[in-house]
Amino acid sequence: MARPNGIRMPAEWEPHERCWMVWPDGAVWEDDLESVERDYTAVVHAISRFEPVRMIANPHSAARARDLLGSEVEVVVHPVDDAWFRDSGPSFVHLPDGSVAGVCWRFNGWGGANEAFEKDAALARRVLEEEGLPVITSALAIEGGAITVDGQGTLMTTESVVFNANRNPGITRAHAEAEFARTLGVERVIWLPGDEEEFGTNGHIDGMACFTAPGKALFEWSAEETGERAELTEENHRALLDGSDAGDRPLVLSYLREASSNSAKGSGEWGYCLSYVNFYIANGGVVMPEYGIPQDAEAREVIQAAFPDREIVQVGITNLARGGGGIHCITQQQPKPVDG
């Protein structure tokens, strides 16, 4: 479906050219780096079953990445600060002729939560220019993990990220929606309250909910059934129930619960990712988290029901999760071109 300005951000389930990732190194993971590398390698090999993976690595980490990943994964060298390419990388879109371009948001280290972000702030443009892809710039300070789209003009995001003074002080809802329309071809925004107190991300949507098909979404309940976090989850749920897509359809929702909080072992300063909805949709598959607990099987069933025609692959991320993110956070899909 073409948008009024001809730009369209495809849904994640549409065909991919490749998956992009950034290799972790000692500058980011000072403790137990080898365990984190094992989780990354397992995620890469799972995604590689369905589509090519192109790995970005710091100059001093490239040889290590090539050794562990093998020849099937292309490693390219770019200077980076952190390994969460979903947030620092471009959001890929289709232009009116069906070719691919990328949106470069104003990346400011998650509102200053990470003081070292100059390399990451330049990364999206650097990748696009090296790939020979057009660059669409935006003054909106946001991260890729803060948005999800249905490919038909609907975007879901959180107020706690977009309207946060640490990113976009004074921005209005109308201004933000106009920017999403200009850059991504969005016609309707579904606003969830989010979670301003979540350290670092301030409540990214990719730890709460995602579209699974046009008119359908998956919502993740908090592991806590009572208390402030449970109440905030219910507020986000009500906002999603009240929303409708660009075709004026109320969303059909399916549900799962995040991993039990007792699975969070050795949490770092950015918390511990408990999300199952933080998965990656690949060509013909879904690569989702596994925490080594009985709840993993239940979550797999829910996601299989949401994507009945795709193979579900679970990957253990108990080391990666200590950094506060999951599989979706470390990946970014590049869509295939389409006929305009």
Residues annotated as catalytic (active site), given as ranges:
329
Partners of 250 in the β-ladder: 244
Q: By the 8 A CB rule, do 234 and 198 touch?
A: no
Q: How many CB atoms lie within 10 A of CB 310?
A: 17
Helix (H) or strand (E) holding 86: helix 85-88
Please tell me whether residue 87 adopts helix, strand or coil conformation. helix
Question: Integer distance in angstroms from the first to the last C-alpha of the chain?
Answer: 10
Calpha distance 190→107 (Å, rounded) = 22
Calpha distance 339→316 (Å, rounded) = 38
Calpha distance 126→130 (Å, rounded) = 6
Q: What sign results for the dihedral spanned by CA atoms 47, 180, 113, 234? A: negative
Please tell me whether residue 276 adopts helix, strand or coil conformation. coil
Residue type, 224: E
Q: Could you tell me the two tokens for 307?
A: 């994507």
Q: Could you tell me the two tokens for 336?
A: 């295939």
Q: Give Cα 291 to chain centroid, integer Å.
A: 19
Residues 6+ apart with CB under 8 A from 265: 272, 318, 322
